[in-house]
Amino acid sequence: MGCDGGTIPKRHELVKGPKKVEKVDKDAELVAQWNYCTLSQEILRRPIVACELGRLYNKDAVIEFLLDKSAEKALGKAASHIKSIKNVTELKLSDNPAWEGDKGNTKGDKHDDLQRARFICPVVGLEMNGRHRFCFLRCCGCVFSERALKEIKAEVCHTCGAAFQEDDVIVLNGTKEDVDVLKTRMEERRLRAKLEKKPQDHQKLRQGNLKKPALILERRKTTWLPKAQVGPVVAVGSCLEKAGNPGG
């Protein structure tokens, strides 16, 4: 017995199996994270900056966002934690000599080479393409692979020699767990800076209040003290002059 077209249905056509889960193309996701600005979704161009959560941005896109924090911008949520330009660090990246993105073809047109990573680790030479964990230092902005950080343990930057602490190490495009740790550190760091700033503000305010009474007294002295002295001095002088000249 067949169907309307005279064909015999097969078992897999009649029995519905479990739906196939659509897998996200990890390669495309890596390309997006490491080659495009988180805010503008444009190709990353120098100067490139990174936030305290390890996301990559074009610096001009961050400046534009800070100048116009429009609620209509859907991508603005990705940078809601950036309150000022001080919350991002300009990165010192090492170019990959194998990258051909800046080379034109025979027609003179330029293209973006997304097959190779644009930047590499200056210490061990790994490509910054998402297949290897990379990080940067907030103190200097130098970027290198996590392998370099683990293999060559030091308290100074591998490339510029600047001293750093564990809190200065920011993982770029890390996992959800990495972002949670970085977010906690960011909040603690900002709270600490806020608490350190408050005593200074109170001290400045107190100093300003102490100066005001002294300034008021000084102004009063300059206004009425000379006038109070002029009258008695003249009067005493005239009396002495009369006492010395009785006939006058």
Q: What integer best gives the mean pLDDT of the chain?
A: 78
What is the structure's pLDDT at 7? 66
Cross-strand partners of 112: none
Domain contains 60: yes
Q: What separation in angstroms does the CA of 189 have from each of 5, 97, 194, 196?
A: 72, 37, 9, 11
How many angstroms separate the CA atoms of 130 and 240, rounded? 101
pLDDT in tens, 116-147: 899 999 999 999 999 999 999 999 999 999 99
Name the most confidently modeled range: 60-74, 100-114, 167-181: 167-181
Average pLDDT over residues 73-93: 87
Domain contains 147: yes
The percent of residues above 70 in pLDDT, for the chain, comes to 62
pLDDT in tens, 190-213: 999 999 887 666 566 566 655 555
172, exposed or middle or buried, with CB in 10 Å at 0-12, 13-18, 19+? buried
What is the structure's pLDDT at 172? 97
Q: CATH no. for residue 58?
A: 3.30.40.10
pLDDT in tens, 13-65: 666 655 554 455 777 888 889 999 999 999 999 999 999 999 999 999 999 99
Domain contains 29: yes
Domain contains 232: no
Domain contains 212: no
Domain contains 37: yes
Domain contains 246: no
pTM: 0.68
Q: How many domains does the chain have?
A: 1
What is the structure's pLDDT at 31? 83
pLDDT in tens, 144-177: 999 998 888 888 998 899 999 999 999 999 999 9
Q: What separation in angstroms does the CA of 19 have from each of 13, 15, 25?
A: 13, 12, 18
Domain contains 35: yes
- Two tokens at 194? 């806020």
Say if residue 47 is preceded by a cis peptide, omega within 30 of 0. Answer: yes
What is the structure's pLDDT at 26? 75
Residue-number span of the structural domain to which 171 is assigned: 22-100+115-198
